[in-house]
Amino acid sequence: MVLDAAEGERVSALVGEFNRRVNAGIVDPSFVARVRRKLQLDQREAAEIFGGGVNAFSRYETGKALPSVALVKLLKVLDRHPELLDEVRAA
């Protein structure tokens, strides 16, 4: 099947929306953003500390990518105990 440019863009948008809905069912993207802001980190700093690359947190927070289970668990701990961030940084 060959799609013209407009149809390709439409299908791409639908797939992107589907991925965002699936990812949001696993972890709410707003949770990732809320905890990052609570820790007073910008997206670049969060990526340096937790890994995932320079665009990772932008993608997690928009639902375009799914953070690992380990990262979600770590964010839940830091949400309850933000004072542990310095230990995570040093690890």
Structurally, how many domains does the chain consist of?
1
Which residue positions in the chain have pLDDT lower than 50? none
Q: Give the span between the Cα atoms of 80 and 72, in whole angstroms.
A: 13
CATH of the domain at 75: 1.10.260.40
Return the pLDDT at 74. Answer: 96
Q: Give the span between the Cα atoms of 13 and 4, in whole angstroms.
A: 14
Return the pLDDT at 4. Answer: 86
Determine the structural domain holding residue 39 and report its residue range: 5-90
Return the pLDDT at 23. Answer: 58
